[in-house]
Amino acid sequence: MKKLGFGLMRLPVTDPENGASIDMEKLRDMVDLFLERGYTYFDTAYMYHDHQSEIAIREALVKRHPRDSFTLTTKLPTMMLTEPGDQERIFEEQRQKCGVEFFDYYLLHNLNRRNYETAERLDSFGFLRGLKEEGKIRHIGFSFHDNAQMLDTILTAHPETEFVQLQVNYLDWESERVQSRLCYETAVRHGKKVIIMEPVKGGALAKLPEEAEGLLKTADPEASIASWAVRFAASLPQVHVVLSGMSSMEQLMDNTSFMTDFVPLTQEEKAMLERCADIINNYTAVPCTACRYCTEGCPMGIDIPNIFSMYNAHMKAELLHSWGDKSKESYREYITEHHKASDCVQCRQCEGACPQHLPVVKLLRDVAAELEN
């Protein structure tokens, strides 16, 4: 199997304000080209695109291509489980939505300390083992968003795990919060396959500060900025698949072009990306990937990722002393029709859901102080 996977989290949409408005015509074309170029791995989840991603891949892929021509992965949402019956109900719903008899890979979604406690209480690993024995899934794993010590605890307790899905990219590689390198090394030490998510950090590594882009364009004028991030993840020796959440045909064509005859990064190129990471960190106020896990349970309906994006644009402009910056005006216009940062009631459900472990409540206060006053 080729090392690039199609992540179905950021699909093309007809309405940018509506995640459920998936552009099916574009998605069908993208799926067809992905398979035509020899790639087979598709990754979805229960809540992606307002719970429509699994249905979309049934229509674009499952109904239109032989079952043995693709690999389909989805996830059991541990953050939505309250009682044992939830697991069977959601799994059967997923099989209906995806239109399959079995999943090639099935994950416990978003394990961290809190969600792992839920998984242990409900014996979720036992539930997955039972599904595998029944032939309803073929491989057991989990996606993970916590520190390396917690990952070691889970893998030690559950050696039946066959693979781990980790957030790995060159910006988070040495991050004390995300711990990409330490988590990767922990999974390798336990002998597990590694599947990479967020190699481009939600698109943040596709458009860089001018100084960083200059380094990459000098090294290879023809390579896209995003390709460096995907190649970084794919160059790790124990990586089984690198997922890319492709939103357009152009992104898909780019990714499949340089991954077809994949060339790992050299030591010099890795050192260059370390320099890029240093530059990016100097410009980024909030390292949000816009995964939108935080928004589902927000009692005030605050579009946290969008607000953080506007805040980052403003803070970057401030750092660069950009004349004519309109980011503050754009924010004030936005909040005439949407909830603002200061509407936060500090319930902190967003912080429990955030894969990046961001102090969301504090950051929203920072946004309000900077953009609302």
Average pLDDT for 178-194: 97
**pLDDT: is 307 or 315 the higher one?**
307
pLDDT for position 39: 98
Average pLDDT for 135-162: 97
Judge whether residue 321 has pLDDT over 70: no
Average pLDDT for 249-259: 97
Give the pLDDT band of residue 248 (cuts 50, 70, 90): very high
Q: Do residues 195 and 173 lie in contact, with contact meaning Cβ atoms separated by under 8 Å? A: no
Average pLDDT for 358-363: 94
Give the pLDDT band of residue 320 (cuts 50, 70, 90): low
Judge whether residue 124 has pLDDT over 80: yes
Interstrand relation of 137-144 and 239-244 (parallel, antiparallel or unpaired): unpaired
Judge whether residue 355 has pLDDT over 90: no
The per-residue pLDDT for range 206-228, each reduced to its tens digit, is: 989 899 999 999 999 999 999 99
Short-list 2, 33, 53, 64, CA closest to 241:
2
pLDDT for position 87: 98
The overall average pLDDT reported for the chain is: 94
Judge whether residue 1 has pLDDT over 80: no
For the chain, which residues make up each domain, given as ranges?
A: 4-266, 304-372
The per-residue pLDDT for range 37-79, each reduced to its tens digit, is: 999 999 999 999 999 999 999 999 999 999 999 999 999 999 9
Report the range of poorest mean pLDDT among 101-115, 172-186, 301-315.
301-315
Q: How many CB atoms lie within 10 A of CB 156?
A: 9
Judge whether residue 202 has pLDDT over 90: no
Question: What superfamily would CATH give domain 4-266?
Answer: NADP-dependent oxidoreductase domain (3.20.20.100)
Interstrand relation of 193-197 and 239-244 (parallel, antiparallel or unpaired): parallel
Instruction: Report the distance separating Cα 163 and Cα 142, nearest Å.
Output: 7
* 3-state SS string for the chain: CCCEEEECCCCCECCCCCCCCECHHHHHHHHHHHHHCCCCEEECCCCHHHHCHHHHHHHHHHCCCCHHHCEEEEEEEHHHCCCCHHHHHHHHHHHHHHCCCCEEEEEEEEECHHHHHHHHHCCHHHHHHHHHHCCCEEEEEEEECCCHHHHHHHHHHCCCCCEEEEECCCCCCCCCCCCHHHHHHHHHHCCCEEEEECCCCCCCCCCCCHHHHHHHHHHCCCCCHHHHHHHHHHCCCCEEEEEECCCCHHHHHHHHHHHHCCCCCCHHHHHHHHHHHHHHHHHCCCCCCCCCCCCCCCCCCCCHHHHHHHHHHHHHHHHCCCCCCCHHHHHHHHCCCCCCHHHCCCCCHHHHHCCCCCCHHHHHHHHHHHHHC
The per-residue pLDDT for range 4-40, each reduced to its tens digit, is: 999 999 999 999 889 999 999 999 999 999 999 999 9
pLDDT for position 328: 83
Q: Do residues 141 and 73 lie in contact, with contact meaning Cβ atoms separated by under 8 Å? A: no
Judge whether residue 326 has pLDDT over 90: no
Average pLDDT for 319-332: 73
pLDDT for position 116: 97
pLDDT for position 324: 60
Average pLDDT for 135-146: 97
Share of the chain above pLDDT 90, in %: 81
